[in-house]
Structure 1
Amino acid sequence: MVAVLLALSIHASRHNMKETVRLMTADTIGTVEHLLTEKDHAVLYLPIYRLAFSLYSNSLANKQITRCIAAAKSAVVDSCSYRSPQIVLIIGESFGKHHSQQYGYRLKTTPRQVKREASGLLTKFSDVVSCWNLTSFVFKNFLSMHVVGQRGEWCDYPLFPDLFRKAGYHVSFLTNQFLPKPKEAVYDFSGGFFLNNPTLSEMLFDTRNDRTHQFDEGLLEDYDHFVKTGEIKPEKHNLVMFHLIGQHVSYRTRCPREQRVFTADDYKEARPDISIRKREMVADYDNAVYYNDSIVDAIIRKFENDEAIIIYMPDHGEECYEPGRNFICRNHSADIDELLAKYEFEVPFWIYCSHRYATKHPRVFKAIKDAKDKRFMTDALPHMLVWLAGISTGQYRAEYNLLSPDYDEMRPRILKNTTDYDKIKRQPKPIPNYPTNPTGQTNQTSPRNQTGRASQAYLPHSHHSQPSKLWNTK
């Protein structure tokens, strides 16, 4: 009997032993994280295994940090024209493009951004994808001057905040996610280990916040505090990075109760294929999108009277019971097909120019308008940012700069280092149940509160100044 039980035990644990070996022989901390997203990943039952895993993970992280620091030390900035004195980068979280009113979603989830676009100062880009559907991988790729397809890894190239600091910009990183904290999951560790390394953090950033917030509006308060204390001087050259919690699960916790406008009833006719509970989940997600709209608009309002340019880019897309797909979040272990690419990699992306900026930099403004329908993958973002700043460095490549006449629009957009996005076969018909509307305008009535009356508190605000007709694209 003992022999039988022993044999059964060995057989039952064989798969876990195999996965444990894979985990403990991974070559990077990113690979470790990706292995842990698989359904049948290793489970470390014994404390000694968990200790060994912790030590091994930290050793992998330290190797990449060492390479990052070496790359930063070798980076040289030759000169800087400060073409754009105020550059703001808003990094969103888990924003499914197909839940954006701005991109044709049937509900008014982004009314403020739609209004900004109608003014002509906000330019929406139509064909942008993320290179990964994992935040940590996205951060490593879009912060590094390395682009997918180049030799080496992300940590072998300088990170663009370092170039900005060397050029004389004051670099601020206000994050609602990546702060050092005990007992953090491997996903947070993988995304933030290099940003939170004391040596590297000092090389990259002048100003950082020291706490996270339940809602993203807390980051606006952080910014106001740094301006009030004089740590951030708006009259100087600034790169300000806002990293939002956005629409990260759990969706219901991402929008204050008093700002929720959608309920399960809003999906009764359009989504009869899903249960009431799932409709409530979709409503929670759309409320998070709606709240996110108010946050990015509030950020714009802080800079709209300056000579400022603002870029919005979420890390990746998100699924929330999309038609025919019975799950939320993202499917990390699946092969990338057309629908997975559509919902998890296609992202909203826009550039806003203040009226003052657009007037002073008409060539840049025109370049933005001319590029709005070009193919783009967000791993190349640093090359556009460096050009916008007027930084002269050997790390810059015009063929990766979306706004350059030398931009290589046909560069393969490889997702997760495996799949060419542009070679995935497209379905000939639109996905049912989600009516498309390319203009972003809808006939939907205003969002309503639970009493059924139109809620004035949720209507778009018009705090921003009205631009001249010169910048109206209509």
Structure 2
Amino acid sequence: MILIDKFKLNLKKIYNGFKNIILSPAKIIDLCWQKIFKVIEQEFFFISLMMIFNFMPYLYLFCLYNQYENAIGGLFKPFSVIIFMGLIINFLHGKLKKCLKYFILSISMILSLMELFIIGKYYTFTTAGIISVIIGTNLHETIEFITMYFSWSYLIFIIALALIIYLLNYISRKVKLNNKLVILFLPYFCLYSLFYVIIPGKNLTECLTFTRLIAPVEQAIEDAIAFREIYTNMQNNVQIVDKGRDIPNIVFILGESTSKGHMSLYGYPLETTPKMDKMAKNNELYVFKDVISPHAYTIGSLREVFTFHNYEATNKWYECNNLFDIMKKAGYKTYWLSNQETSGQWANVALAYANRCDYKKFTGIRQSYEKSYRADGELLPLLYEVMNNNSDKNFYVLHLMGCHGEYENRYTPDFAKFSDVDETKGIIKTQEAKTKRAQYDNAILYNDTIVTQVMEAFKDKDAIVIYMPDHGEEVYDLKNFNGHSDDNPTKSMLEIPFVIYTTEKFKQKYPLVDAQIRASVDKKYMTDDLIHTILDITGIKTPEFQETRSIINPYYNQERKRIFLDKDYDNWQ
């Protein structure tokens, strides 16, 4: 009987407790606030650092664009997610809790610093294009990149951040939170996060630095996988309708990061291209005046320059036939001679093309940890070697380092002609900007010599030499920036030199082709259609060839819009 009475009493207590909970939602809310407050108090160091690491990129980016409301929104967005992470960590104990906490903080700090660096140079969050560049770059090029953009302000910032971390750690141990102050602001943070981040879902990936990386990394990995697909998707699809003119020597010089705006050949006040200037003055060089690249980074440009892919295409670039397979099927022996790196095969579309050629050779077999300061002049002995053992029909590609940063490593000491005192142009007049511009102009000067030496090597042969870079470069011409990227590009990154040299034997043997080239120098052009022009020069015809896309063809469509990132370039302000 006593046991039954105790059971009834306990049952009544449970019922009354359940009844009170059901009838007192305010009590539930109060318990929730108390738990959240307890978590904030116990995990103050973790939550504060996570807020700083994830808010700094938002604050920096939107303040650069004077969008202060969006910057404040960046403070609210990650809050609920970070509180939730704090709740999870608060449930853990011992070494697991400590290890997880510091792992998350370390990753967040590294990614935050990386994103701040990217925002400072590209005025954007991390994108697939930037990730692709990282994937396609070896360690030494990465070190070069960081060295080129390093400034003492970054070091000062890192020291300041370290002091903030130390102070927060001290505060979290010594100072107790004001309960009333937390309760005053906490609901606003949580409600904003709930209704503008969690419920819509679309903003969820923007909350944290590492969640913002998900989409661009996925896209970049997809692109890297696509580079492997080139070997299977482009191997057996080539059909030749007409093998063409049997030109003995077709030479394509692929430059790097070269803006026509820094070439005296195109009106730049400093004499940066004296040799090409002289050739043009003597009518030995056809200088095309209005040519742009389809992208402002190497991978993006090369996957269109050497294939039938363009901005109008509906299929993937690697599903299109490429120039090297076509030239091989038309009877040409194909050569790829490069002063670029040999590492990063599957992420480097240039090397993917090199592997399509009959013969490939690099100035050095360099792994990621080796220096890559070889001057482009080291390509010339490789060229002379294959010229002595060539076939009846040859297609050469010479891939230069050109004017790629760091600029001071792209020329030999005897080409250090320009200094900061020569640099009067550019919108930024700081010592650093003038020095960078001078180094870049010296790289252009050296590039002029290499390009003309290649032309000189074929002077007495039946040959045509085409020179163009993958894209241009911004060197404080139009904005406070040096480098290139599809994100926040400038015209300096897209406007490139495009020149053609034909030897006397070529002129005599193919006078009509030579005349067509000469008559085309004033036409506007984008190099995503380059494959059509090269095939038109050679006379090779495939089912994909379109005469309206060849700049030298009488039926060339000059009304075709040059679309870059969904914008009409010719109406781009």
TM-score band w.r.t. shorter chain: 0.7 to 0.9
Find the residue that maps to 1:364 and give its secondary structure. helix
For residues 14-163 of structure 1, the aligned pairs below 5 Å read 32-33=131-132, 60-66=223-229, 69-163=232-326
Q: Which blocks of at least 5 consecutive residues in structure 1 are unaligned? A: 426-474
**Structure with higher RCO (Cα < 8 A, 6+ apart):** 1
Deviations 1:196-244 (A, max 9, x none): 6xxxx2xx2011114446100111111122334x2x34xx101101111
Aligned counterparts of 1:205 and 1:173: Cα–Cα separation in 2:
6
Q: Percent identity?
A: 26
Specify the alignment match of 2:467 in structure 1: 312
Answer yes or no: is the 8 Å Cα contact 1:399–1:406 preserved in 2: yes
Answer yes or no: is the 8 Å Cα contact 1:384–1:402 preserved in 2: yes
Aligned counterparts of 2:323 and 2:427: Cα–Cα separation in 1:
47
Deviations 1:379-430 (A, max 9, x none): 1000111122221211211111111112111111111x322101224xxxxx
Structure 1 residues 75, 272: CA separation in 2 closer, same or farther (over 3 Å shift)?
closer
Amino acid at match of 1:7: I
Specify the alignment match of 1:407 in structure 2: 556
Aligned counterparts of 2:384 and 2:351: Cα–Cα separation in 1:
27
Return the offset for 1:172: 0.5
Answer yes or no: is the 8 Å Cα contact 2:227–2:347 preserved in 1: no
Answer yes or no: is the 8 Å Cα contact 1:84–1:388 preserved in 2: no
Find the residue that maps to 1:226 and give its secondary structure. helix
Structure 1 residues 257, 153: CA separation in 2 closer, same or farther (over 3 Å shift)?
same
Structure 1 residues 60, 265: CA separation in 2 closer, same or farther (over 3 Å shift)?
closer
Which of residues 367, 370, 380 is equivalent to 1:220? 380
For residues 160-179 of structure 1, the aligned pairs below 5 Å read 160-179=323-342
Answer yes or no: is the 8 Å Cα contact 1:176–1:244 preserved in 2: yes
Specify the alignment match of 1:428 in structure 2: none
Structure 1 residues 97, 116: CA separation in 2 closer, same or farther (over 3 Å shift)?
same
Deviations 1:171-202 (A, max 9, x none): 10111225235xx9xxx934446336xxxx2x
Specify the alignment match of 2:476 in structure 1: 321
Which of residues 367, 373, 376 is equivalent to 2:522? 373
Return the offset for 1:135: 0.8
Computing the radius of gyration from Cα coordinates, the structure with the larger value is 2
Which of residues 205, 216, 219 is equivalent to 2:357? 205
Return the offset for 1:2: 2.2
The TM-score with structure 1 as length reference comes to 0.74
Aligned counterparts of 1:101 and 1:73: Cα–Cα separation in 2:
44
- Looking at secondary structure, tell me which structure has more helix per residue: 2
Which of residues 433, 443, 460 is equivalent to 1:288? 443
Which of residues 173, 192, 195 is equivalent to 2:353? 195
Return the offset for 1:9: 4.6
Aligned counterparts of 2:570 and 2:219: Cα–Cα separation in 1:
37
Q: Is residue 351 of structure 1 aligned with residue 514 of structure 2? A: no
Aligned counterparts of 1:246 and 1:67: Cα–Cα separation in 2:
26
Aligned counterparts of 1:57 and 1:375: Cα–Cα separation in 2:
31
Amino acid at match of 1:262: F
Specify the alignment match of 2:42 in structure 1: 2
Specify the alignment match of 2:409 in structure 1: 253
C-alpha RMSD over aligned residues: 3.4
Return the offset for 1:121: 2.5
Deviates more, 1:103-112 or 1:68-77: 68-77
Answer yes or no: is the 8 Å Cα contact 2:403–2:444 preserved in 1: yes
Return the offset for 1:12: 4.5
Aligned counterparts of 2:506 and 2:521: Cα–Cα separation in 1:
18
Specify the alignment match of 2:537 in structure 1: 388
The TM-score with structure 2 as length reference comes to 0.62
Answer yes or no: is the 8 Å Cα contact 1:82–1:237 preserved in 2: no
Answer yes or no: is the 8 Å Cα contact 2:251–2:463 preserved in 1: yes
Aligned counterparts of 1:9 and 1:42: Cα–Cα separation in 2:
12
Amino acid at match of 2:284: L
Answer yes or no: is the 8 Å Cα contact 2:418–2:442 preserved in 1: yes
Find the residue that maps to 1:373 and give its secondary structure. coil
Aligned counterparts of 1:264 and 1:57: Cα–Cα separation in 2:
38
Q: Is residue 360 of structure 1 aligned with residue 509 of structure 2? A: yes
Answer yes or no: is the 8 Å Cα contact 2:428–2:476 preserved in 1: no
Aligned residues: 390
Return the offset for 1:72: 3.1
Deviations 1:344-398 (A, max 9, x none): 1111111111111112211111111111111100110001111222212112111
Find the residue that maps to 2:334 and give its secondary structure. strand
Answer yes or no: is the 8 Å Cα contact 2:227–2:349 preserved in 1: no
Aligned counterparts of 1:224 and 1:107: Cα–Cα separation in 2:
32
Aligned counterparts of 2:437 and 2:226: Cα–Cα separation in 1:
41
Find the residue that maps to 1:297 and give its secondary structure. helix
Return the offset for 1:131: 0.8
Answer yes or no: is the 8 Å Cα contact 2:133–2:299 preserved in 1: no
Aligned counterparts of 1:31 and 1:327: Cα–Cα separation in 2:
16
Amino acid at match of 2:505: R
Structure 1 residues 313, 332: CA separation in 2 closer, same or farther (over 3 Å shift)?
same
Aligned counterparts of 2:218 and 2:311: Cα–Cα separation in 1:
29
Aligned counterparts of 2:363 and 2:436: Cα–Cα separation in 1:
28
Structure 1 residues 61, 4: CA separation in 2 closer, same or farther (over 3 Å shift)?
same
Amino acid at match of 1:194: A
Find the residue that maps to 2:405 and give its secondary structure. coil
Aligned counterparts of 2:128 and 2:237: Cα–Cα separation in 1:
24
Aligned counterparts of 1:387 and 1:103: Cα–Cα separation in 2:
26
Q: Is residue 333 of structure 1 aligned with residue 482 of structure 2? A: no
Structure 1 residues 355, 54: CA separation in 2 closer, same or farther (over 3 Å shift)?
same
Aligned counterparts of 1:64 and 1:31: Cα–Cα separation in 2:
16
Find the residue that maps to 2:270 and give its secondary structure. coil
Structure 1 residues 272, 90: CA separation in 2 closer, same or farther (over 3 Å shift)?
closer
Answer yes or no: is the 8 Å Cα contact 1:179–1:211 preserved in 2: no
Return the offset for 1:32: 4.1
Deviations 1:102-150 (A, max 9, x none): 1001111101101111221211011100110001111111011122212
Specify the alignment match of 1:432 in structure 2: none
Aligned counterparts of 1:398 and 1:286: Cα–Cα separation in 2:
37
Answer yes or no: is the 8 Å Cα contact 1:305–1:356 preserved in 2: yes
Find the residue that maps to 2:286 and give its secondary structure. strand
